[in-house]
Amino acid sequence: MAITPDSSGDIRVALIGYGLAGETFHAPFIAATAGLRLTCVVTANDFRQRRAVRDHPAVRTLDRADSLWAHPEEVDLVVVASPNRTHVPLARAALRAGLPVVVDKPFAATASEARALVEESRERGVFLTVFHNRRWDGDFLTVRRLIAEGTLGEPRRFESRFERWRPAPMATWRESGAPEDAGGVLFDLGPHLIDQALLLFGPVTRVYAELERRRPGVVVEDDAFVALVHASGARTHLWASAVAASRGPRFRVLGSRAAYTKFGLDVQEEALKRGERPGKPGWGEEPAECWGRLSAGGHDQVVQTAPGVYQRFYAGVVAALRAGARPPVEPADAIAGLVDDLERLPEGEAEALAARRRSPRGPVP
């Protein structure tokens, strides 16, 4: 679906939600992307409305998304960065108003909901994509390059971690036990981990998982391990945790020729939280002391981390809307990484995942 820009030549963007996702991860990149203009922020929270106007003085604020659907001619693109339970209904409303949509992760609480949304997008001929920004982490780009160049040889095991230390549960929807909230670390951090693994090694033939509720009183998983066997033969081990007082390596990739080990997270998130913005000289570049190491036969070599480039996501959105390029993230890719889609593997091949997810939810003793 090609967008006809307004007189300014820009694609007008309405951002729904101005919490962590909207304020930190979406608005700065929308504002920094040539061809996009943030014109509207939807939030019923007065404090967040004031922050949106402070950060983007030309923006107008709305209390409800219904105002967008009533006047769809006033915007060209909708970005859904609101709580998880609203992702599908808001994206569906945007599609029915004929408005292209970016949906923050997780795409949906269930694969069936996500598939229905994709089908509606196809039937209506309206653009839809999912914000899997971690595809453009500098360390992940480095891993992709090392694998593509054959530096590691045949990849045999891929280890990937997002670990945090949050010993006290937070009273937020992210730690709610309601299924529609898609709470817990597997929905919060898992989409990035699984998406990266699928991007590197392709479809999965077998899944094993250990999902735990470690902190007293929690009703969602706060500590998870997922093992994937890919059709390509590679094996992936993924960790997501809120209770890791000591963090393991962000990546450890074992190949037939060499191994790559990398500690620490991509620098872009912390830069955004400090108020830095893309376009600044040195954006996404990691200090040399944080670079990973290539190891083979007792010989270690420091490997410079590629700069992180989250801005490529929204540049890809512009290319898709204006020139008909493929979406920066195919919705089918996001569906493939949803938890219950992995559970649909042949009987016996999703060993612990389905059984654990279907167990009654409740606080740990």
pLDDT value at residue 169: 81
| CATH T-level assignment (fold) for domain 137-307 | Dihydrodipicolinate Reductase; domain 2 (3.30.360)
pLDDT value at residue 360: 39
Q: At which residue do the structure tokens 């859904």 appear?
A: 80
pLDDT value at residue 357: 45
- Dmax (CA) for the chain in angstroms is 65
Q: Please report which confidence band the pLDDT of residue 359 belongs to, taking 50, 70 and 90 as the band edges.
A: very low
Residues of the chain with CATH 3.40.50.720: 11-131
Q: What is the dihedral of CA 97, 99, 104, 105, to 10 degrees?
A: 70
Q: Is the pLDDT of residue 72 over 90?
A: yes
241-277 pLDDT, tens digit each: 999 999 999 999 999 999 999 999 999 999 999 999 9
Least confident of 64-68, 170-174, 204-208, 303-307: 170-174
pLDDT value at residue 339: 65
pLDDT value at residue 349: 57
| CATH T-level assignment (fold) for domain 11-131 | Rossmann fold (3.40.50)
310-325 pLDDT, tens digit each: 999 999 999 999 999 9
pLDDT value at residue 341: 57
Q: Is the pLDDT of residue 363 over 70?
A: no
224-243 pLDDT, tens digit each: 999 999 999 999 999 999 99
Rounded to whole angstroms, the Cα distance separating 355 from 365 reads 20
103-113 pLDDT, tens digit each: 999 999 999 99
Q: If you average pLDDT over residues 331-337, what whole number do you get? A: 94
Percent of the chain with pLDDT over 70: 90
Residues of the chain with CATH 3.30.360.10: 137-307
Taking all residues of the chain, what is their mean pLDDT, rounded to a whole number? Answer: 91
User: What would the 3-class secondary structure string for the chain be?
Assistant: CCCCCCCCCCEEEEEECCCHHHHHHHHHHHHHCCCEEEEEEECCCHHHHHHHHHHCCCCEEECCCHHHHHCHHHCCEEEECCCHHHHHHHHHHHHHCCCCEEEECCCCCCHHHHHHHHHHHHHHCCCEEEECHHHHCHHHHHHHHHHHHCCCCCEEEEEEEEECECCCCCCCHHHCCCHHHCCCHHHHCHHHHHHHHHHHHCCEEEEEEEEECCCCCCCCCCEEEEEEEECCCCEEEEEEECECCCCCCCEEEEECCCEEEECCCCCHHHHHHCCCCCCCCCCCCCCHHHCEEEEECCEEEEECCCCCCCHHHHHHHHHHHHHCCCCCCCHHHHHHCCHHHHCCCCCCCECCHHHHHCCCCCCCC
Rounded to whole angstroms, the Cα distance separating 247 from 249 reads 7
pLDDT value at residue 355: 43
Instruction: Give which of 50, 45, 39 is closest to 11, Cα–Cα.
Output: 39
Instruction: Give which of 80, 74, 81 is closest to 59, Cα–Cα.
Output: 74
